[in-house]
C-alpha cells in the first residue's frame, strides 16, 4: 500500500510538471497576443509557473481520493481503476475554473488592465480545456501502459 501511494504521488508530480510546461506556454502565447508585450507575457507565465504547480498538485490529489467516475478492472487477482471519459471532462472543468481565476488575478496584477486580464483568462478557458483533456487522456494511457508492463514482467528463476 505504501509503495502504491508513493507511485501515485510521483505520478501526480510528473503530471503536474508536464501540464505546467504546456499550460505556461499557452499562457505566454495568449498573454503576448492580448498585450503585445513579450516581457509582460513572460512575467505572467513565470508567476503562473509557481502558483499553478501548487494548485494543480492539490487538485490532482483531491481527484485521486474521489472514486466517482472510475471503473474497476480485475486482472490477475488485482483490482485497479480506470477513469471514464466523463471523469476526465469533469476534472478538466474543475481545474479550468481554478486555473482561470488564478490567471485573471495574475494578469491583472501584472498588466493593471482588467480588460486584458479577462481576455487572457477567458480565452484560455477554451485552449486549456482542450489541451488538458488531451494531457489527461495521454497520462491515462501512460499509467495503464506502465501497469501492463509491470504485470507482464517475467522474472527468471534463481
Task: Please indicate, yes or no, if residue 123 is contained in any of the structural domains.
Answer: yes
Task: Please indicate, yes or no, if residue 155 is contained in any of the structural domains.
Answer: no
Give the number of domains in the chain: 1
If DSSP codes are grouped into helix, strand and coil, which group holds residue 1?
coil
Task: Please indicate, yes or no, if residue 63 is contained in any of the structural domains.
Answer: yes
Task: Please indicate, yes or no, if residue 157 is contained in any of the structural domains.
Answer: no
Q: What was the pLDDT predicted at 158?
A: 45
Q: What was the pLDDT predicted at 118?
A: 97
Would the pTM count as exceeding 0.75?
no
Please give the residue range of the domain that contains residue 40.
2-148
Q: In this model, does residue 4 exceed pLDDT 90?
A: no
Task: Please indicate, yes or no, if residue 119 is contained in any of the structural domains.
Answer: yes
66 grid coordinates: 474521489
* 30: nearest Cα among 111, 8, 38: 38
Q: What share of the chain is helix, strand, coil (3-state, %, to 5)?
A: 80, 10, 10
Cβ-proximal residues to 89 (8 Å cutoff; 6+ apart), any chain? 133
Q: What pLDDT, in 10s, does the model give residues 94-122?
A: 988 999 999 999 999 999 999 999 999 99
Amino acid at each position: 500500500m505504501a509503495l502504491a501511494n508513493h507511485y501515485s504521488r510521483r505520478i501526480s508530480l510528473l503530471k503536474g510538471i508536464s501540464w505546467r510546461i504546456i499550460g505556461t506556454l499557452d499562457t505566454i502565447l495568449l498573454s503576448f497576443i492580448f498585450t503585445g508585450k513579450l516581457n509582460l507575457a513572460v512575467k505572467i507565465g513565470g508567476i503562473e509557473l509557481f502558483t499553478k504547480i501548487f494548485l494543480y498538485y492539490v487538485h490532482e490529489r483531491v481527484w485521486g481520493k474521489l472514486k466517482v467516475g472510475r471503473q474497476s478492472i480485475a486482472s490477475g487477482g488485482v483490482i485497479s481503476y480506470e477513469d471514464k471519459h466523463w471523469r476526465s471532462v469533469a476534472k478538466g472543468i474543475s481545474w479550468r475554473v481554478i486555473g482561470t481565476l488564478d490567471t485573471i488575478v495574475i494578469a491583472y496584477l501584472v498588466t493593471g488592465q482588467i480588460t486584458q486580464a479577462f481576455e487572457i483568462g477567458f480565452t484560455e478557458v477554451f485552449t486549456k480545456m482542450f489541451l488538458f483533456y488531451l494531457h489527461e487522456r495521454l497520462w491515462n494511457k501512460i499509467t495503464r501502459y506502465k501497469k501492463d508492463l509491470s504485470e507482464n514482467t517475467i522474472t527468471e528463476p534463481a
